[in-house]
């Protein structure tokens, strides 16, 4: 029934890298305060909690979701709900794929400010980057995408051979 693996295919889950994140809370102010935001026409109140540290204070968001824990980051859910990654059920993209080359290429492309999709045109050099540093990152992207292309070529070759053997048996 499910040809490419054992059991039912997993439903795709949203990743942390693809979900909008709220800015970190301001670190100065009173110990507890609230910030009111309007997201998708709904008014939401977010609580900021500051805890003393060695050289001052550190600010956290209190998750408005079911957990109510102190979090460094809050994310914007698909229905306009603001919550932490556990309440929204977000996962890291590295947990979804075992292809490290694809993750590396995506990270390097985002570093340049371009599209994270592999094999798309490379973005121009950012103004504040040195030419040698930009050239090094471009060389890393090209090498990583060459590894990806080789893996795809090998995968397609294996499938084609398997498909040809099956066609020979049925003919």
Q: What is the pLDDT along the chain (171 residues), one digit of tens a residue?
A: 555 556 666 677 888 888 899 888 877 777 678 888 888 888 889 999 988 888 888 899 999 989 999 999 999 988 888 999 999 999 887 777 777 888 888 889 888 888 888 888 888 898 888 999 999 999 999 999 999 899 888 888 766 665 565 565 655
Q: Do 65 and 117 fall within a single domain?
A: no
| Any domain includes 21 | yes
Whether the pTM exceeds 0.85: the reply is no
**How confident is the model at residue 106, as a pLDDT?**
87
Q: Do 76 and 148 fall within a single domain?
A: no
Domain that holds residue 130: 98-170
Q: Do 57 and 134 fall within a single domain?
A: no
Q: Do 162 and 136 fall within a single domain?
A: yes
| Any domain includes 2 | no
| Residue at which a domain ends, from 42, 66, 96 | 96
Reference 48, options 36, 58, 34; nearest CA is 34
**How confident is the model at residue 39, as a pLDDT?**
83
How many other CB atoms sit within 10 Å of the CB of residue 84?
22
Q: Do 108 and 121 fall within a single domain?
A: yes
Q: Do 35 and 88 fall within a single domain?
A: yes
| Any domain includes 56 | yes
How many domains does the chain divide into?
2
| Any domain includes 70 | yes
């Amino acid at each position: 029934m499910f040809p490419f693996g054992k059991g039912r295919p997993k439903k795709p889950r949203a990743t942390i890298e693809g979900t909008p994140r709220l800015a970190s809370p301001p670190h100065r102010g009173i110990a507890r305060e609230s910030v009111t935001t309007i997201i998708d026409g709904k008014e939401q109140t977010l609580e900021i909690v500051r805890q003393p540290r060695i050289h001052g204070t550190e600010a956290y968001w209190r998750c408005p979701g079911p957990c109510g824990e102190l979090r460094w980051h809050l994310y914007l859910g698909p229905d306009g709900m603001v919550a932490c990654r556990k309440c929204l059920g977000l996962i890291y993209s590295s947990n979804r794929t075992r292809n490290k080359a694809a993750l590396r290429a995506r990270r390097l492309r985002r570093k340049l400010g371009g599209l994270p999709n592999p094999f798309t045109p490379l973005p121009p050099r950012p103004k504040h980057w040195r030419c040698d540093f930009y050239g090094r990152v471009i060389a890393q992207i090209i090498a990583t995408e060459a590894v990806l292309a080789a893996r795809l070529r090998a995968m397609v070759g294996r499938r084609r051979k398997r498909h040809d053997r099956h066609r020979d048996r049925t003919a």
